[in-house]
Chain A
Amino acid sequence: MSFLVDKSTRLIIQGITGREGTFHCRQMLDYGTNVVAGVTPGKRGAVVEGVPVYNTVREAIEKHDANASVLFVPPKFLYDGAYEAISSGLPLVITISEGTPVLDMYRLYHLAKSKGVRLIGPNSFGIISPGKAKAGFMAHRIFSEGPVGVMSRSATNAYETVFMLTRKGIGQSTVVGVGGDMIPGSAFIDMLPYFEADEQTKVIVMIGEIGGSEEERAAEYIAAHIKKPVIALIAGKNAPKERSMGHAGAIISPNGEGGAALKEEALSAVGVRIAESTSQIPSLVESILRGK
């Protein structure tokens, strides 16, 4: 199984002619992703890594029946690009840009919601279903197919976790970067139902961090709806207060709100197992898988 991206994905790359777009087009093709078209305004007729380029998402959909888009565009162009993808009727839009203005995301989030579009990111590595397809820029060499579903606000912490799981011989079903921004297109609570419904996923790993209340809300959702075992990590326990740690969303307010302690408390109260660091996650996963 796995979900969101797989062998049926027909992917568009917006920004395919840029440095990163071209590089990661090759990487995605090598991984077996069905990249059907690229879009860069003004570059219609070009071919990148064998993939035809169009000026608009609409034409790429008409010619290739595309059903998802990933955007390799600078943050200041993300709004227009994602708006185009959402309004052109693609059911899945993946944004990776780091540094997107939060009010652009406010508008995009509500637009996607009203149109029933699943918007992922920004400030995210994308999505990968190991062995099937990837849409994003993750270093796919470290991923392997298996029973662990992973979702993470941080790309680097997700890589570290996946790397250690794979090294231990434990594979992943689908790995989603929900991203580190203040308004994510999809938050943990939006992803949990997919993991719960996915037959391949036996354990859910949630990699959170300081700032906001996504983890607390996930805890409420888990208590009410999730039967699968969940492991969580909260990064940033020793981060200085009131300083954004690089992710716009990772900041502890002066009264302690957004701190790691409250999040861990809320999660362990509903039976989520807390990992102290990424390196503890594989053994926690292993003990759950063996216990079954």
Chain B
Amino acid sequence: MKLLEYNAHALFSEFGLPSLKGFVADSVAEVKRKVGAYAPDASLSFPLVVKAQVQTGGRGKAGGIRFANTSDELEIEASRVLGMSINGLTVKKIFVTEKVDVKREMYLSVALDRKERSPVIVFCADGGMEINDIADRFPEKVVKIHLRGETEIKPFMVQYLLDKSGLDSSYKDRLTKIISSLLALFFGKNAMLVEINPLVVTTADELFCLDGKIDIDDNALYKFDDIRVVRDEMETNPLILEARKWDFLYIPVVENGDIAVISNGSGMLMSSIDLISKKGFEVHSVLDLGGGATAERIKEAVRIVLSEKKIRLLFVNIFGGITRCDEIAKGIEGSWDQVRSKKLVLRLEGTNKDAGAKIMRDLNPEIYLADDLVDGVDRIVKEMGR
């Protein structure tokens, strides 16, 4: 999951990286209150910066980063930024922070390189724009070092970065410290991306993290209660949230679609969407049960997808390995009151198929049991045409 900037700064601080201090607010009233709280001990002094907290780039260009020299200006800028729309996202939170005097902007990140199956440290002595733009314009300036099983920085890596980037070697110790903390954060919080852009040299010649992006591995969120809370706060789709509680993945596909698909695997879901779309119908949403779902959980899955009123047809498409078809059938049986008002196409194959088919036939001999995926999709076409 991608964190917002202020979450990133909090993690930077936690791992000893010099980063922005400030506060988050979701209303002008809160800004007033918090500036008041800060003002007496002068821990946050003007000029201040108001930064829109949205998960998208180009905030500066869109007017989402503004400066204030007085409390009056701060209120005006805060009210301007709160509620504005950047790349289609509404700004619900702002981060108010001190202005930093910058001498030079650089780029530093640790990212997961899937191709190399390794994290890669990326450094550029010129930063401040999106890394893709830097790489397009000055490919020779972007220096990369892959980790090959390591989880911490080694002296040769920093030396290589300095030599290739052309950054003065007087920064060696400071850069080592920054990268070392960044890697501790990357591995400590199971990140897939930690980016400092820009990493600045201040007029006092210190290195400082002025803006940050962090993407945490969803598969590791079980370790971090606080980050899970942040994730759920950011999610606006109630069905995604509800599905999460049961450890399902609910994915909206086409807003105006009227078909829902439940399956026991990501691959089967993708194939189902592909085939249904090819026939000219639209899938509203899909739900991935994952492997080994029990009857009780399947009942919940059905309830979640059918709570969207647009759904006219439910396609349950199971090819069970670790998932057992009799569990699926019991789950559908348990939610029959809800299912019977919709069109249903069912496909059960794999582990305990016969037991599952029997439960369905006993429940209602009219239920259509598809032979395979194509037969299931053909049946959907027929049902939707009625």
Interface residues of A (CB under 8 A from B): 20, 24, 27, 75-76, 96, 98-103, 105-107, 109-111, 114, 125, 136-139, 141-142, 152-160, 163-164, 180, 182-184, 187, 207, 209-210, 212-213, 217, 235-240, 243-250, 255, 276-279
Contact = CB atoms under 8 A, between A and B. Distances in A.
A163 B349 contact: yes
B217 A163 contact: no
A155 B265 contact: yes
A110 B269 contact: no
B267 A239 contact: no
Contact of A138 (B269, B270, B321): B321
A103 to B, nearest CB: 6
A87 to B, nearest CB: 13
Given A139-B350, A163-B349, A209 B267 contact: yes
A101 B267 contact: no
A99 B219 contact: yes
A281 to B, nearest CB: 11
Interface stretch (B31-39, B271-279, B328-336): B271-279
Contact of B114 (A136, A159, A182): A182
Closest A-B pairs by Cβ, 8 of them: A154-B267, A246-B266, A156-B268, A156-B265, A110-B149, A157-B267, A139-B350, A246-B288
Interface string B266-298: 111111011101100001000010111000000
B199 interface: no
A96 B269 CA distance: 19
A279 B347 CA distance: 15
Contact of A213 (B115, B263, B264, B372): B115
Nearest to A105: B117
Nearest to A125: B321
Interface residues of B, number: 53
Contacts of A160: 268, 271, 319, 372-373
Nearest to B115: A213
A183 to B, nearest CB: 5
A156 B114 contact: no
A201 B274 CA distance: 29
Contacts of B292: 20
B219 A102 contact: yes
A98 B288 CA distance: 12
Interface of B: 112, 114-115, 117-119, 132, 148-149, 151, 187, 190, 192, 217-220, 222, 249, 251-254, 263-271, 273-275, 277-278, 283, 288, 290-292, 319-322, 349-351, 353, 372-374
A102 B217 contact: yes
A246 B350 contact: no
B269 to A, nearest CB: 6
A236 B372 contact: no
Given A103-B119, A240-B253, 6 more contacts: A137-B322, A156-B264, A156-B265, A157-B270, A277-B374, A278-B373
B279 to A, nearest CB: 11
A105 B251 CA distance: 25
Contacts of A24: 322
B251 A154 contact: no
Nearest to A122: B219
Given A182-B114, A238-B277, A159 B322 contact: no
A163 B118 CA distance: 36
A96 B151 CA distance: 25
Contacts of A236: 270, 273-274
A210 B187 CA distance: 26
B350 A159 contact: yes
Contacts of A109: 117
A100 B218 CA distance: 9
Contacts of B118: 106, 110
A167 B151 CA distance: 49
A103 B251 contact: no
Contacts of A209: 266-267, 270
B274 A155 contact: no
B267 A156 contact: yes
Nearest to A97: B291
B286 to A, nearest CB: 8
Nearest to A237: B274
Contacts of A164: 372
Max count, chain A CB within 10 A of own CB: residue among B149, B217, B267: B267
Given A154-B265, A156-B265, A235 B270 contact: yes
A180 B267 contact: yes
25 contacts: A75-B219, A102-B219, A103-B119, A103-B220, A106-B112, A107-B149, A110-B149, A125-B322, A139-B319, A154-B265, A154-B268, A154-B270, A156-B263, A159-B350, A163-B349, A209-B266, A236-B273, A238-B273, A240-B254, A245-B251, A245-B288, A247-B266, A249-B114, A277-B278, A277-B373
